[in-house]
Amino acid sequence: MAFQILLNFFIAVVWMFMTSSLTPSTFIIGYIIGLLMIIMTRRYFRSRLYVWRIWSALKLTAIFLRELIMSNISVLMLVIKPDLSTMQPMFFALPTELEQDWEITLLSSLITLTPGTVVVHVSDDQRTLYIHAIDVDDVDEAIDSIKNTFEKAIMEVSRG
Amino acid sequence: MKTNDVILQTATKVVFFIIFLFSVHIFFVGHYAPGGGFVGGLLTTGAIVLLLLAFDLKTIQQILPFNFTIVTAIGLVLALSTAGASIFFNVPFFTHAYDDFNLPLFGKTSLHTAMFFDSGVYLVVVGSAITIIQSIGGDD
């Protein structure tokens, strides 16, 4: 992915020298031409086209913002009208398929930033995250909701 | 108990550069805006202390293989020689000189010898603070 961006940048610089005008607008035109060339020659690259990765990073940001607003509202309702008889705070373990350090850091930051859940510990083999949640009805449902939103989105950014 | 610091360490690797960049910025704007050698030096120390907290002392001594006592000495010599150099130009001790230069890339820039004095202060602050922390933390 880094190689594709570098190549695109390089094509843009070559375009600037060819047209012998060193302005930002020439650079942007050269960058777009380079992007079209990379899309045409996409079969030569081993990894996916880098545009898709930027797109999935944007999607991850959108998912995060949506989750942030939704869980803020649900915690607000919990604070305004606490129902202590049915409230069920608990710790649970979340098995994760993420491997790299930055992926785990990103996942735990996203879980911690959404109100209602806090990552308290990462296991030594980095396969399990221990999470505290204020109000959980069903553990499997909570695990599934994190896995389907954040983990899937992070995997889309880092893999393939 | 040995805990898994993966979140702290990964975040430190990113945040370190932001703090370091900000300390350099604070150091350079000192003449026209709040900042200067002292806070710049302290902020650099803060960045290194963050590395020390996230990783251990041996790793940091490997990636920053300076003797910080000598860094302090270099800073003192730099500050003293900036102040003393004015004697050779027949002006009172500690007189600074400045002028405008047309540098490539930067454009019209005013360069001032107070910068060298500030660099001395910066090095003394970084050197002495890290020496204190390393000598206290190094006692096993």
User: Chains A and B: how many Cβ contacts under 8 Å?
Assistant: 25
CA A150, A151, A154, A155 torsion-angle sign: negative
pLDDT above 60 for A39: yes
Give the model's confidence band at A160: pLDDT under 50 very low, under 70 low, under 90 confident, else very high: low
Residue A128 region, left (φ>0) first, then alpha (ψ -120 to 50), else beta?
beta
pLDDT at position A46: 81
Q: Is residue B1 scored above 70 in pLDDT?
A: no
pLDDT at position B23 is: 95
Would the pTM of this model clear 0.95, i.e. be above it? no
Q: In this model, does residue B123 exceed pLDDT 80?
A: yes
Going by pLDDT thresholds of 50, 70 and 90, the confidence category of residue A83 is confident
Taking CA–CA distances from A105, the nearest residue in chain B reads B7
ipTM above 0.90, yes or no: no
Contacts of B6 in chain A (CB under 8 A): 101, 104-105, 122, 126
Partner-chain contact A119 B4, CB within 8 Å? no
At residue B106 the predicted structure's pLDDT band, cuts being 50, 70 and 90, is confident
Which positions 6-65 of B are in contact with A (Cβ < 8 Å)?
6-7, 9-11
**DSSP assignment string, B38-87:** HHHHHHHHHHHHHHHHHS-HHHHHHHS---HHHHHHHHHHHHHHHHHHGG
Give the pLDDT confidence score for residue A126 in this predicted structure: 84
